[in-house]
Amino acid sequence: MTISEVIQNKYGPQTAHGYDRLAYNCFWAYKEAFEAAAYSLYAFSRPTEEATRNILDVGAGTGNGSIAITQKFNELEIQMDQFQTQFSFTLFDQSSSMLNKAIEKLQGKNTKKIVNPIELLSESVSSEFDFVFSSYFFHNLNLPQKNLFIDSVFKVTKKGGSFILIDRFLIDEKNLFGSPAYLKAYTIKFYNDAKVSSPKIQFKDVQDEIQKNFEFENDTPSNLLDTMTMLQDSGFEVSCPFVSFGIGVIHAFKPD
């Protein structure tokens, strides 16, 4: 599966089928960003009387963020000689194909799926969540939607809870995504993976495809610092535990 196939298939059955392999093999720091999120979440989280912590994952896709972060969180608890937290998941995505994969992978866990446009987030979800996750989804939203999304997330996050936002971000004013060297570095993983199924594929072809993806009109990555300020303005305490090659993890903690 290639990036343009993902876009053409609009996260339909074909994307749902090939997505995990593409993400883990080709996306820069995919695993590492989830790991940084888990460490930060663990460090900030307060002891709870509740048996289960509720998670909302917006743009959950095939559930990789929810699965990777909570597994690592439980591993950290074991390392620190603590009981393992139980989690329940509410997964929010417009694609039922992607969500069905997530439900399949989270089998046996308390899982609920919501297929709805983002505008309905605040109406669809009434309960409060200990942790809200959103990975590689935010850049799909335009600025008014981003503001609405952040306000909705603030409302549904419990006091003492956290919102983890992972995405591609513009890191400085130079807009790294527009630079040829950056594009080359970013493309290498995709190229190595593409060579396995198409040994004759040219680096330039893969690079052009990634470039097209960066220029995709619905793709609007935000500046990292601006996003942190937006979250702060809505009432969160904000930190950034991970940045690498335009991938950033923002941890937004909701104080009492």
Ligand X SMILES: C[S@@+](CC[C@H](N)C(=O)[O-])C[C@H]1O[C@@H](n2cnc3c(N)ncnc32)[C@H](O)[C@@H]1O
Residues that bind ligand X (CB under 6 A): 11, 23, 59-61, 64-65, 93-95, 98, 117-118, 135-137, 140
As measured in angstroms, the least distance from the Cβ of 253 to ligand X is 21
CB of 149 closer than 8 Å to CB of 141? yes
As measured in angstroms, the least distance from the Cβ of 137 to ligand X is 4
Nearby residues of 103 by Cβ (< 8 Å), 6 or more positions away: 63, 91, 111, 113
The smaller minimum CB distance to ligand X, of residues 23 and 240, is found at 23
Q: Among positive and negative, which fits the CA dihedral 133, 139, 141, 146?
A: positive
Residue nearest ligand X, Cβ-based: 61
As measured in angstroms, the least distance from the Cβ of 51 to ligand X is 26
The smaller minimum CB distance to ligand X, of residues 131 and 136, is found at 136
As measured in angstroms, the least distance from the Cβ of 80 to ligand X is 26
User: CA–CA separation, 34 vs 67, rounded Å?
Assistant: 9
The CA distances from residue 190 to 7, 27, 75, 101, 145, in Å, are: 16, 8, 30, 23, 30
Point out which residues pair with 58 in neighbouring strands: 92
The smaller minimum CB distance to ligand X, of residues 59 and 248, is found at 59
Q: What are phi and psi of 2, to 5 degrees?
A: -110, 170
As measured in angstroms, the least distance from the Cβ of 180 to ligand X is 24
Q: State the angle between helix axes of 30-44 and 13-26 in degrees (0 to 180), rounded to the nearest 10.
A: 80
Q: Among positive and negative, which fits the CA dihedral 139, 140, 143, 148?
A: negative
User: CA–CA separation, 8 vs 3, rounded Å?
Assistant: 9
As measured in angstroms, the least distance from the Cβ of 191 to ligand X is 20
The smaller minimum CB distance to ligand X, of residues 95 and 157, is found at 95
The smaller minimum CB distance to ligand X, of residues 54 and 135, is found at 135
The smaller minimum CB distance to ligand X, of residues 189 and 235, is found at 189
